[in-house]
Amino acid sequence: MLNKPLIGKSLALKVINEALKSGADFAELYVQSKFNHSVSLAHKRVDNCSSSLVYGASIRLMEGTKCVFGYTSDLTSASLLKLASDLASSFSSGKKLELNGFDRPLIGKPKVKIYHEEKSDEEIISYLKKGEDVIYKYSPNIVDCTCGIIESDEKVEIFNSEKKHVLDRRVRTRLVCSAVASKDNIFQTGFEGPGGSLGLELLDQVDYVKLAEGVAKDAVDLLSAPECPSGKMDVIIGNSFGGVLFHEACGHPLEGTSISHNTSVFSGKLNEKIASDVVTAIDDGTISNAWGSSAYDDEGNKTTKNVLIKDGVLVNYMVDRFDGRRMNMPSTGSCRRQSYKYLPTTRMTNTYIANGKSSVEDIIKNTEFGLYCVSFSGGSVDPSTDKFNFTASKAYIVKNGKIDHLVRDATLIGYGYEVLKNIDMVGNDLKRGQGMCGAASGSIPVEVGQPTLRVKNMTVGGRGGNL
């Protein structure tokens, strides 16, 4: 059965009632079974072919803004009831609630055409080998590559003291491809990692040979690219994974985790202008087959399309149940966690800046001098100040409204709240990219995205001299 229960309802009811015996006003039982499988080729051989199973449960209790949490991999009645009793002892109000049953289960079904068991590892290795061959043949400067696939099939079952019962199945598949090129002690990397909430039909949707060739080209081209100059300039940020800058510098500060503790620069600014008129930003966990999507979040709430910024005005935050108590706001279906071992909290799903009215050609044509960042290799943000530092692994200098030449290792430095206000052109070529986001509740799949856009007068760091 696609959505076979992981635990009996009668046991779940006993656990919830045991948890409520000493004063908690809310109790939740979360059960997870997750199958992981990965295959990778590296160093011209099969480097990994492995599977694992994550299986366990957690209990979370609340009273007002107090929260306690515990987990176990032992799903016997004795183990779960002991965990519930131990957690309940954290409360002492003496107020006892009792539940008499759960509502009809809400069921989330994956949109999958080809499940893991329908393709052999040999077929997958053959598929990946074609990409590996293309990369090594591309140039003698290629010194290494990795071609791989990551699959997961996760089932979660959630019960809570509001009679909610949810069964959700989440199937995700992602391809990865990276190449390393070297010349004169310089090493450069190309990378792509397309994926989604779907099965092995992804292999038919992605031209892996073409993808691999592009990855090899990126790595080799960057070997001869000069270092980026430094200074203040207009910066064009490309679509798709260019959205990682918004995700890190602006998305995290809009999560209830930081808003509820007043540690975000956007705390208390609902309905205020925080960005330029051309900026509309959305977090949407409902996008069909998107990498960060699911039918329900990890509290059992339906995921939503949550408009965060509308025409420059902050109109909503991302909120989970517990942070919502602190903020006096309802959940937005944004509660996520890596596994049953992590306390769930507000997290992004598929976060992007919406399409604007400018064409990419117009954005470039209207840039006298600037930097066009195509891909990013990493970065960091100080959540208390919103100051960021991002490295653009591949970028172009723009002169007189035209793309001039490739540069490498450009660094973008600034503050997220300033960038939002300095976006003056937004393109119409929205695209999303896939990645993993790490925070308090673990590493989770997310999408970032945006159209090509321009930020006025950014600080750019590089070792190619001053402008």
Same domain (yes/no): 122, 267: no
| Residue 19 CB partners (closer than 8 Å, separation 6+) | 27, 29, 59, 61, 84, 85, 87, 88, 161
Residue finishing a domain among 178, 198, 223: 223
Residue 297 pLDDT > 90: yes
Same domain (yes/no): 375, 393: yes
In a domain, 294, yes or no: yes
- Mean pLDDT on 188-217: 98
Q: Are 338 and 347 in contact (CB under 8 A)?
A: no
**In angstroms, what is the C-alpha Rg of the chain?**
24
CA atoms within 13 A on the CB side of 248: 24
At residue 378, the pLDDT reads 77
Residue 146 pLDDT > 90: yes
> In the chain, pLDDT over 70 holds for what percent of residues?
99
Whose structure tokens read 């856009």? 453
| Residue 307, CA distances (Å) to 67, 311, 352 in order | 28, 10, 10
Residue 1 pLDDT > 50: no
Count up the domains in the chain and report the number: 2
At residue 465, the pLDDT reads 64
Same domain (yes/no): 184, 251: no
Computed over every residue of the chain, the mean pLDDT equals: 96
In a domain, 96, yes or no: yes
Residue 93 pLDDT > 80: no
| Residue 418, CA distances (Å) to 35, 110, 232, 318 in order | 42, 40, 14, 21
Residue 216 pLDDT > 50: yes
In a domain, 261, yes or no: yes
Same domain (yes/no): 164, 271: no
pLDDT one-digit tens code per residue, 177-201: 999 999 999 999 999 999 999 999 9
Residue finishing a domain among 193, 223, 253: 223
pLDDT one-digit tens code per residue, 369-396: 999 999 888 778 887 788 999 999 899 9
At residue 377, the pLDDT reads 83
Reported as a pLDDT band with limits 50, 70 and 90, residue 2 is: low
pLDDT one-digit tens code per residue, 229-243: 999 999 999 999 999
CATH of residue 119: 3.30.2290.10
Same domain (yes/no): 115, 155: yes
Q: Write the DSSP symbol of residue 225.
A: P
pTM: 0.95
CB atoms within 10 A of CB 100: 7
At residue 396, the pLDDT reads 98
- Domain ranges, residue 291: 231-461
Quote the tokens at residue 8.
């009996």
Q: Are 395 and 374 in contact (CB under 8 A)?
A: yes
- Mean pLDDT on 14-37: 97
